[in-house]
């Protein structure tokens, strides 16, 4: 009887040890897989991605347009994409007849311009828009990721909302600046944007996205 109990105990120990070893092996396999995937993604976003997509992030009056021009001159090439261009009287001219009701069309044209530039492999592509919300950046990030661009985010949040409100001379409501400031989040990795639930829901079945194959 004692022998049988001892054998049963030993067998139980063997089973437990085997189970732990199997779990350890599985977890090690998963760890190695994830590590390799992360290394691959890092390589994809670094060494293998030679062209740049630069996304400026800042409220009106923060100096995005000047920054975009400086970056373009530094690279001696590239294209600047801005919704403001839709309302200019001529390329590089003054903004005239600004109409918030036409902003959707201005953004649509900006996305078309960015996509065209990426398809032609222009380097860099500079996005000069507010880009506070992740959903606003999602189309550009998706286009750039699929077309081999290294994606860089340039935060321009140096001024207070009081200063920015003053720069804009009251053309934009103060509450809007408060809203932008409260909704701003730092970007640590592009997957924050690509897999954000709100962005995925918003753009999932959009005709523009599907037809242009972002």
Res 1 pLDDT > 70 = no
Q: What is the mean pLDDT of the chain?
A: 81
C-alpha torsion 87→88→92→94, nearest 10: -120
d(CA 158, CA 40): 34
* Beta-strand runs (E) in the chain: 51-57, 79-81, 125-128, 149-155
Cross-strand partners of 92: none
Instruction: For domain 50-212, say whether CATH 3.10.20.310 is its number.
Output: no
Res 4 pLDDT > 50 = no
**SS3 label, residue 57:** strand
Please give the pLDDT value at position 186.
93
Q: Please measure the distance between the N-terminal and C-terminal CA atoms of the chain and give it in whole angstroms.
A: 72
Tokens of 127: 């996005």
Q: Which residue, 197, 25, 14, 208, is CA-closest to 111?
A: 208
| Of 13-17, 118-122, 161-165, 204-208, the least confident | 13-17
Res 7 pLDDT > 90 = no
Whole-prediction pTM: 0.74
Is the link from the previous residue into 8 a cis peptide, with omega within 30 of 0?
no
Q: Which residue, 22, 191, 52, 70, is CA-closest to 123?
A: 52
Tens digits of per-residue pLDDT, 14-73? 455 554 555 555 556 654 554 454 444 444 444 477 899 999 999 999 999 899 999 998
134-146 vs 103-119: helix axis angle to the nearest 10?
A: 20
Q: Give percent above pLDDT 90 in the chain.
A: 53
Please give the pLDDT value at position 39.
45
Tens digits of per-residue pLDDT, 65-114? 899 999 998 888 899 999 888 777 666 666 667 767 778 888 999 999 99
d(CA 63, CA 177): 15
**SS3 label, residue 122:** coil
Q: Which residue, 153, 152, 133, is CA-closest to 59?
A: 133
What length does the chain have? 214
Q: Please check whether residue 193 is in contact with residue 138, taking contact to mean a CB–CB distance below 8 angstroms.
A: yes
For the chain, the domains span 1-48, 50-212
Please give the pLDDT value at position 29.
61
Please give the pLDDT value at position 37.
47
Tens digits of per-residue pLDDT, 152-197? 999 999 899 999 999 988 788 999 999 999 999 999 999 999 999 9
Please give the pLDDT value at position 12.
52
Nearest 5°: the CA angle 67, 173, 99 is: 75
Q: Which residue, 146, 121, 150, 140, is CA-closest to 50?
A: 150
Q: Please check whether residue 180 is in contact with residue 112, taking contact to mean a CB–CB distance below 8 angstroms.
A: no
């Amino acid at each position: 009887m004692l022998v049988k109990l001892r054998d049963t105990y030993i067998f139980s120990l063997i089973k437990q040890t085997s189970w732990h070893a199997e779990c350890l092996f599985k977890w090690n396999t998963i760890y190695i897989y994830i590590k390799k995937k992360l290394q691959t993604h890092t390589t994809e976003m670094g060494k293998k991605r030679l062209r740049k997509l630069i996304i400026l992030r800042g409220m009106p009056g923060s100096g995005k347009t000047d920054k975009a021009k400086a970056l373009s001159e530094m690279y001696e090439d590239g294209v600047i994409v801005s919704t403001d261009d839709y309302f200019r009287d001529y390329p590089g001219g003054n903004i005239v007849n600004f109409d918030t009701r036409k902003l959707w069309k201005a953004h649509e044209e900006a996305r078309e311009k960015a996509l065209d530039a990426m398809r032609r492999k222009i380097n860099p592509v500079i996005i000069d828009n507010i880009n506070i919300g992740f959903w606003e950046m999602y189309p550009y990030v998706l286009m750039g990721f699929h077309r081999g661009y290294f994606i860089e985010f340039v935060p321009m949040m140096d001024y207070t909302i009081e200063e920015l409100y003053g720069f804009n001379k009251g053309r934009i409501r103060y509450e809007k600046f408060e809203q932008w400031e409260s909704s701003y989040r730092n970007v640590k990795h592009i997957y924050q944007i690509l897999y954000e639930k709100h962005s995925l829901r918003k753009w999932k079945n959009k005709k523009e996205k599907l037809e242009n194959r972002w």
